[in-house]
Amino acid sequence: MKVLMFGWEFPPHNSGGLGTACYGITKALSEKGVEINFVLPRNYGIEENFLNVIHTKLPKIKMREIDSLLVAYMNSMSYKKMFLSLEDKKNTENYCGDLLQEVHRYAQVAKEIAQDVEHDIIHSHDWMTFPSGIEAKNQSRKPLVSHVHSTEDDRSGGQGANPHVFEIEKSGIKEADKVLAVSNFTRNKIIDNYDIENGKIDVIYNAVNKVDFDDVCLSRRLNFGKNKIVLFLGRLTLHKGPDYFLKAAKKALDKNRNIIFIISGSGDMDSQIIEQAADLGIADKVLFTGFLRGEDLKKIYKMADLYVMPSISEPFGITSLEAMASGTPVLISKQSGVSEILNHCLRVDFWDIDEMANKILSVVDYNELRTCLADNGLSEIDKFTWNKAADEIIKVYNTLVISKKRINI
């Protein structure tokens, strides 16, 4: 099986869960004999040895870069800022000055790649690569799989989706021969927002490589003394709910001052969240680490006594699995895909900051509860593997290829 796959980020240069999922999926697929040509934008300033690193780890995957300024989780404003910030204006000659135009230019280059690369299936991840998948399908007449890791409704936090992105997303879903959703939460949004028949969508849950979080040796207490550590880790953007996390932190600290709240991540709400901590009078109890990756990411999970994911709208939530794999209890939003499959966790409505604070206090105050959640969560995480996800994806591929051959006959 040969797959032409389009994504917008890939480790070690990723800023969110999409890159983590793409790596987990492609690695598991390659280990099962699937050959993948993975196409992605060239990250500006990327080091030269990036592709060699990936080739070494995943021998059946060939990475193909398209020279583009597209970056994961980019919006029109951030694209324009990057375009205008290039020191040598001549460097912008090959790029479009508008995000949506650049997405379509990218798709035309993808069409050329589809002419040259032998493939049985086209697999596109999220809206920015859906036009590429459509162009590739029109060129090669091969089946298209559109993989939805988040919708525009999720990314906007329900506060007004970008209509142009919405239409691109809709066309990518409509033109696909099969749609993969990361949860039933996401599947239902696709059905409701894009009028797609249920039978066209398969739910394939994300996973975690548990072994990746087993190799960090760290004293959980470090220099925090008797303070317990409560962690938020994710992009600081509306739909991740960092503002609700701070409101709950304030209520918890009113009852127990021996808690340190760590916010790890970056995003368009950076300044707002820092100011909010000060306005709430808890700045001395809130630490900001910025974006973390690699060993620093693993250490911060293991340091925490509790991980909180208060998302307003979370298609899945890989970070909660990573926390559990690190032996850390989790408190997750009921408005998340991962809440469908976890048993050994605490749940709360994102807007219910009183209940969120109460559950934070329960975990930090009662060692028995914390230990029970951690131990059972660590065992439960064994069920969620990328190998299982890859098997389900291969079934989809095989069904589409067989169906295509029958049509051609």
Print pLDDT tens along the chain (409 aa): 999 999 888 877 777 788 889 999 999 999 999 999 999 887 444 443 333 344 445 567 777 777 777 777 777 777 777 777 765 555 666 677 778 888 888 889 888 999 989 999 999 999 999 999 999 999 999 999 999 999 988 887 666 678 888 999 999 999 999 999 999 999 999 999 998 988 899 999 999 998 888 765 554 445 577 899 999 999 999 999 999 999 999 999 999 999 999 999 998 899 999 999 999 999 999 999 998 988 899 999 999 999 999 999 999 999 999 999 999 999 999 999 999 999 999 999 999 999 999 999 999 999 999 999 999 999 999 999 999 999 999 999 999 998 776 666 5
pLDDT at 284 (0 to 100): 96
Same domain membership, residue 119 and residue 245: no
- CA 181 – CA 148 distance, rounded (Å): 5
Total structural domains within the chain: 2
Same domain membership, residue 165 and residue 63: yes
Same domain membership, residue 159 and residue 271: no
Among 74, 75, 50, 78, CA closest to 63:
50
- CA 321 – CA 98 distance, rounded (Å): 36
Among 105, 97, 100, CA closest to 74:
100
Same domain membership, residue 234 and residue 141: no
- CA 110 – CA 131 distance, rounded (Å): 9
pLDDT at 46 (0 to 100): 42
Same domain membership, residue 248 and residue 189: no
- CA 409 – CA 393 distance, rounded (Å): 25
pLDDT at 89 (0 to 100): 57
Residues 144 and 135 sit within 8 Å (Cβ to Cβ) = no
Same domain membership, residue 396 and residue 308: no
- Residue 307 is which amino acid? Y
Its domain, for residue 226, covers 210-383
Strand partners, 123: 5, 145
Same domain membership, residue 257 and residue 399: no
- Residue 157 is which amino acid? G
Residues 266 and 290 sit within 8 Å (Cβ to Cβ) = yes
DSSP code of 9? -
- What three-state secondary structure class fits 240? helix
Query: What are 113-169's pLDDT values in tens digits?
Result: 999 899 999 999 999 999 999 999 999 999 999 999 999 888 876 666 788 889 999
Same domain membership, residue 327 and residue 180: no
Same domain membership, residue 400 and residue 300: no
Same domain membership, residue 190 and residue 64: yes
CATH number of the domain within which 228 lies: 3.40.50.2000
Same domain membership, residue 214 and residue 92: no
Beta pairing, strands 306-309 & 228-233? parallel
pLDDT at 221 (0 to 100): 44
Query: What are 17-41's pLDDT values in tens digits?
Result: 888 899 999 999 999 999 999 998 8
Same domain membership, residue 361 and residue 267: yes
Can you give the pTM of this predicted structure?
0.89
Token pair in block for residue 195: 């009028």
